Structure formats: structure tokens, C-alpha cells
Structure 1
Amino acid sequence: MVLLLQARPGMTAAELARELEVSERTVTRDAQALSEAGVPVYAERGRAGGYRLVGGYRTGLTGLARDEAEALFLSGLPSALREMGLADAASAARLKVSAALTPALRDAPAGAGRRFHLDAPGWYQEPVTPELLPAVAEAVWRDRLLLARYRPAGRDSDAERELAPYGLVLKAGVWYLCARAGDDTRVYRIDRFTAATVSDTPFVRDEGFDLPAFWEERSAAFARSLLRTEVTLRLSEAAAHRLPHVVDRAAATRALEAAGPPSADGWVSVTLPVESLDVAYGQLLGLGPELEVLGPAVLRERFATAAARLHALYGGAP
């Protein structure tokens, strides 16, 4: 309760009860107990009332610089924390730090969250630090224009760019910069910068820009762009349940939602966009007898060949 009141003075009993997941009666009792223990908490009556701490009472974190305070909040991991069952612990830790920050540093968490995002799902390799990452990061942190030369994939020449660098993303060991170039906001791989200079010219940050949301939208669009062909499948109930875990999740979800009703045996037919037939073969083979490939014919033939080889291996005694 003390930490909440340090971070958000004037919270009502109802707000405290909701945040702490207790009853309002418990809030009242705990406030009284804190007061008796020497913590200067009091209740302010009226429409704008609530619980407050006398004289700005707080537990302080001494000697904490702005860059240190911002570094504490470079998580960008809400979904991963939830999956690991650590969301409550992380929330409590952030609350403790937020409550102890001095007013001059109170905006540090939001500033860090606007500028850095760690996309944890799909992590599979150690990050490699690009040579120009420190310069790019400095421009991001100071809200300064970045003068850069960039070599897009598949090209042998550089393009000069003047970028308003909004934020950094680390995904699967690769660093990316989300930056405004003219009227467009784009994504750049930092290891493709061949030169980067931080200018002295500040830029006005769009306060409505949401780095995690922007990254999620661009990532989804990129994933869709890779799905260049289609396969037609019949799936058992078990295979339909597993499909989003073996192919692109969004594509599988859309395919299952667009499917007609299941047949009498519980199987359902879907049309699934895939990156290539080779990729689809590797992804879908693990579904085994819970899956039938209806088309294209070349993929169905590959599955038939695989089934025949498996039968030859396991059809008799070892």
C-alpha cells in the first residue's frame, strides 16, 4: 500500500482494494495499522479525497541517475513474463522502483519503454552487436536526427538517409532501428548501416508512437509477405489443435476460422498459406496420420512417398 501511495498519491479505498486484490475493509484496517506503526498515512475526505502520505513521505533510492533509472525499465517483455508466470513479480518490482524515484526521474520508465523493445518470442541465437549500434542508440536516446548510409538487402550500393530514430528493437539476436524517414516510419537492420553520425539537430517525437505496437504490426506484415503459396489440407481434431504450433500461427488461425464445418468423422478441410512447399513439407510431416494433404499434387506425392517409406520401416518385425 505504501508503495502504491508513493507512486500514485490520493488513491481511494476502492482503487487500492482493486489493485491489491483485497476488500475495502482490509484497506481501511491496513491503513490504520500503518499509521499506528509510524507510517504517516491519512485519509482525505470528499469527492477528490483518498489516502495520502504526509509530507511526501517516501522510501528513497539515493544516487540513482536518469540513465540508470531508464535502464531498469528496458524490459519490453510483457508477453514472455506472462508465459513464464512472472508478470506479478515484474509488476511488483517496477512498482517498488517507481515509488522510490524522485519526481525528476518519474518519467524515466515511460521514456525507456518508448525507445527500446525486446521481442522475446522466437529467440534462438546470441545477439551480435553491430559496430554502429552505440551511435544509433545515442541518437535514439537523445532524440537527435541520425545521418546515415544504409545498404538494403540485395543491393551493392549505399543510400543516404536522414532519420528521426524512434526506437531500438532486439529480435532473435538482430538489432533493428524503427525510424521516420520523410513521412514514413520504417524498420532498418542496424548491421546494414555503413555509416552513422549523430547530428546536433533535435527532432520532435510523435508522442502517439507506440514502439511495441508498431513492431508487432510490421512483424505480422513481414510474416504474411513470406507466405507465397497455398496448400489444401484435411485435419483431424487433434491436428487442427496443433496446427498453429507447427506453422505460422496467424496464418493457421485465419485458415481454421475460414474453414467450413467438420465432417461426420470430425475432420476439417482448410486452405493454408505457406512460405514454400518444401517448408510446408517439413512443418506438416510431424502431424503424421492426423493430416491428409489434398493439394497441390506434388506435395501430396511427397507425403505418399514418406508414408510408404515409413511403412517399409515399421510394417514388419524389426
Structure 2
Amino acid sequence: MRASRLISLVLLLQSREAMTAAELARELEVSERTVYRDVEALSAAGVPVYADQGRNGGYRLVGGYRTRLTGLTREEAEALFLSGLPGPAGDMGLADAVAAAELKVLAALPSALRDAPARAGQRFHLDAPGWFGGGDPPPLLRELARAVWEDAVVELRYRKDREVVRTVEPYGLVLKNGTWYLVARVGGEPRTYRADRVRAVTPTGAVFERDEGFDLAGYWSGQAASFLRAMLKEQATVRISPTGMRVLRFYVEPYAAERAAEAAGPPDRDGWVETVVPIESEIVGYSSLLRLGPEVEVLGPPGLRARMAEAVARLADLYGTSGGKS
């Protein structure tokens, strides 16, 4: 642990030229006393660190000194491609690798380019999740990411309407509107699974030979629409208000909201329309449409309407003048 911290200290001084003990302590998440001891250890080891006294003082490396410890590991090099997405990288357990890679790249930059990270950070920010797609990452995302990195064949226990078990070759992970998806081969064919519905990941001990011609981005672009059509295999018939139609895209898949808008009939005198909303299943449709509250009436299928009616009755008990909680 200390060796790693000493390397980080040298790289920090190499990339920023001068830093106070307080600044180093903050970056390394240690006490200033630990920084003093680390600087003494580096000096004893022959690293030319010296201190400038005074108001603008701080620790510096003797001019021209460059560490040779700037080579990226495989993990860091792979993680670097995710550095524009620090949140998702952290979700997959790669935050430390990304931070180490960024520090090594910064240390290797010539002084004329040292402001490049700051300039980019001031001008660009990628917010990958959707507005309503926050929350904790899927519980088994790190296990899935590990299997993807290692080309490891795993057994998935996956739940949608019922629980199934599949032996898969995990090719990649995709983050779409705040939702993680696993793309894996099953029986030689690519399949897509929502990561938050994976209940268990069990390594089989086998590895698979990756098809180097497989293009994850290309597959996702070409298959996303058909995947959604296959996933949203059922439909709900609804009456929906103008407000409900405007906000529908926040509560169902954008594809489903688009199909509902296209299928909408003429508005009645209050502006309500009848349409069909593609849904994955009755229970998923229930949880999505219930969030629209009084802006939607489910007409069918009967089972979904019954679920909604039961929920409305329970809400009436909670908020009614009799039998409710005060």
C-alpha cells in the first residue's frame, strides 16, 4: 500500500510541479505527517524531492526528473476508455484503475499540455444516465463486468416473469438511459439481458474464444429496436390525458411512448385519447403505468385493469375520510 502511495506522490509532483503538504495529503487521503514521512523516504531512496520554504512554497522535483513508472497496465489502459464515464466505471469496480491511468497520462504530458484535462473538464461533461434513471447500480454488475473482462463463461440466474438459468458467454455491457444491459452469446447467438434482473452469476471455470469481428456498438445500434420490440411483447390499452401523454416517456421505454403516440386515436372533448402502450409484461406495465396516477385509465387487458383497480381502492382507503390514517 505504501509503495503505491509513494509512486502516486511522485507522479503528482511530476504532473503539477509543486504541491504543499496539505495538498498532497488531500490528494492521497492521508495526514500531513504521513506526507512528511513519505517525502523523507523518497529522498532517502534517491528521488530528488526538495521543499521550497515561504508563502508560495511546497514540494518539487528537481528540474528534469522524470519517473519511468508511467507505463499503463492492461487494466488501466482498458479502463482509460471509460474515463469519460467515471460513475459507470466506478459501478463496475474500475474507479481506482481509471484514477491511476489518468494520473499516469497526466504525468507523461509535456508542460505545454498540462492544462488539457482542466480545459476539457470546463467545457464538456457527459451525463450518461437519464433524468429518472438514477439509483444504485445493479447488485451483480461488478461480477458481470469481471466476466466480460476475463472472457469467462458464466451461468446466469435471470428473472423476468419467471426465473430461468442460462449458460452464457458475456461479450459486453451497455449503459442505456441509466439502465445496464448485458450482451452475451447463448448457443452461438447474441442475446440481451437487463443487468438488474440477474439474480446470480456463477463462473463455470471455462473461458470462451471471443469473436474478434463482433462489434458491440454496431450490434447494439442495429439490434436495440428489435430487442425492444421482442421485450415489449404485450400491450396495454389505455385512456390517457394530455398531461399523461406528455410525461409517458419518463415512465416507460421511449420506444413504447413513441408507439403509443403513433397509435393514439382522436381526442375527446377533454383532450383524452385512447391508445395502446407496448409493455414487457403485466406486472411491469402495472408498475410503470401506476406512476401516472390519475392521468391514465387502463382499459385492458383485464388482469392489468384489475391490478390497477385494486391499487386505486387501496389508495382510496389511505386517503379517504373514513378508515384512513390521520
Which bracket does the TM-score occupy, shorter chain normalised? Answer: 0.3 to 0.5
When normalised by structure 2's length, the TM-score is 0.46
Greater RCO (CA < 8 Å, at least 6 residues apart): 1
When normalised by structure 1's length, the TM-score is 0.47
